[in-house]
């Protein structure tokens, strides 16, 4: 803290009075406690996931994890099927979110006049505020019949394409805002130097500013992937309940988050069928580790490859 340092440097104690100092200590302790709660939350998350996932793993035969398909009530827990389906949805989502998100970011940062910006930026913010369950309904009722079936008439009613497009729409604002921040942080001297050498505006935007901001842009995409993997309500509604592994994006199936939601919602939660329900914690742990790793990587990318101007 700059102010704390200044105060220490001056070295004069103006606080006086014992009662005031005691109050200071109490208030500071309360605030520290509040900040410390975030650590407790992390510990509780890890305890909940690891404890229950361990209980699940020790209650099943490990080869059940390689049985074909994810059918908890039949004792078949093929995590790979869920992972493939998640990858399928995430890939489609990124095909939507990366071009539209980055395009929006370049336009907002390099082209838009402040008036245009003031109108269009809030649109992205509104889109970011739409609950994901609404996008799930939109995927089911609009994207599948009008877009997916338009391209692939034989597509199943619940399919990865529709779910992926909806997840991508949800991810556009995140990708756009993080990468726009990165591009706006590029000093204007770079742009001026580029114009000074006779470059056109498109050249300056795409060949000078974009590469200069690449660390932030990569971080934005990684964060988008992490967000897409963790998205639940869209896939719970629009990606289907099929537990058999499929690579076909016009078919549907359970993703990792979809499997958790389905276990929480469904009839698998019957007394006695403990392993089936506890598999939820195992999938949750995998999901948690995966998204945490992606978030940490995105921070590393920013720190490691950021150009210092």
| Positions 148 through 177 that interact with other proteins (CB under 8 A) | 169, 172-173, 176
Torsion region of 69: left, alpha or beta (phi above 0 gives left; psi -120 to 50 gives alpha): left
What ranges in the chain are assigned the alpha helix state H?
2-10, 18-59, 79-106, 114-129, 132-138, 149-151, 160-184, 188-196, 201-203, 210-212, 214-230, 233-238, 256-265, 274-305
Tell me the CA distances in angstroms from 101 to 96, 176, 177, 228, 231, one per residue in order. 8, 4, 8, 14, 17
Q: Rule CB under 8 A: say whether 108 interacts with other proteins.
A: yes
**Tokens 């537990």, residue located:** 243
Torsional class of 111: left (φ above 0), alpha (ψ -120 to 50), beta (otherwise): alpha
Q: Which of 55, 67, 134, 218 binds other proteins (CB under 8 A)?
A: 134
Per rule CB under 8 A, is residue 80 in the interface with other proteins? no
Applying CB under 8 A, among 32, 58, 153, 271 the residue interacting with other proteins is 32
Closest CB 65 distance from other proteins, rounded Å: 19
Q: Residue 148: is it exposed, middle or buried by C-beta count within 10 angstroms (0-12/13-18/19+)?
A: buried
Among residues 39, 62, 151, 271, the one that binds other proteins under rule CB under 8 A = 39
> In terms of CB distance, is 67 or 128 closer to other proteins?
128
Of 60 and 225, the one with the shorter C-beta distance to other proteins is 225
Least spacing, CB of residue 76 vs other proteins, in Å: 22
**Using CB under 8 A, which of 61, 68, 150, 264 touches other proteins?**
264
Piece in contact with other proteins (CB under 8 A), picked from 57-65, 66-74, 134-142, 246-254: 134-142
Helix (H) or strand (E) holding 113: none
Does 299 interact with other proteins (rule: CB under 8 A)?
yes
- Select from 54-62, 72-80, 202-210, 211-219 the region that touches other proteins (CB under 8 A): 202-210
């Amino acid at each position: 803290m700059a102010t704390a340092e200044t105060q220490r440097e001056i070295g004069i104690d103006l606080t006086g009075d014992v009662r005031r100092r005691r109050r200071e200590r109490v208030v500071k302790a309360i605030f520290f406690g509040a900040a410390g709660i975030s650590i407790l939350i992390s510990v509780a998350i890890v305890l909940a996931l690891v404890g229950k996932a361990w209980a699940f793993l020790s209650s099943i035969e490990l080869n059940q994890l390689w049985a074909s398909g994810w059918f908890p009530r039949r004792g078949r827990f093929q995590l790979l099927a869920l992972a493939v389906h998640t990858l399928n949805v995430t890939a489609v989502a990124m095909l939507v979110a990366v071009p539209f998100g980055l395009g929006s970011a370049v336009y907002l940062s390099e082209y838009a006049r402040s008036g245009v910006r003031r109108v269009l930026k809030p649109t992205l913010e509104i889109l970011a505020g739409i609950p994901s369950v609404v996008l799930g309904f939109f995927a089911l009722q609009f994207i599948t019949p009008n877009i997916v079936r338009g391209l692939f008439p034989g597509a199943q009613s619940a399919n990865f394409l529709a779910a992926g497009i909806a997840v991508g729409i949800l991810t556009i604002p995140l990708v756009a805002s993080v990468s726009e921040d990165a591009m706006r942080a590029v000093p204007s001297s770079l742009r001026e130097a580029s114009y000074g050498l006779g470059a056109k505006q498109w050249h300056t935007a795409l060949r000078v500013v974009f590469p200069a901001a690449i660390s932030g842009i990569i971080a934005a995409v990684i964060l988008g992937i992490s967000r897409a993997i963790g998205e639940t309500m869209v896939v719970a509604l629009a990606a289907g309940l099929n537990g058999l592994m499929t690579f076909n994006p016009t078919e549907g199936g359970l993703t990792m988050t979809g499997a958790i939601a389905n276990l929480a919602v469904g009839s698998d939660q019957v007394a006695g069928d403990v392993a089936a329900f506890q598999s939820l914690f195992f999938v949750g742990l995998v999901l948690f580790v995966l998204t945490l790793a992606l978030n940490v990587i995105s921070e590393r990318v920013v720190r490691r490859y950021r150009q210092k101007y």
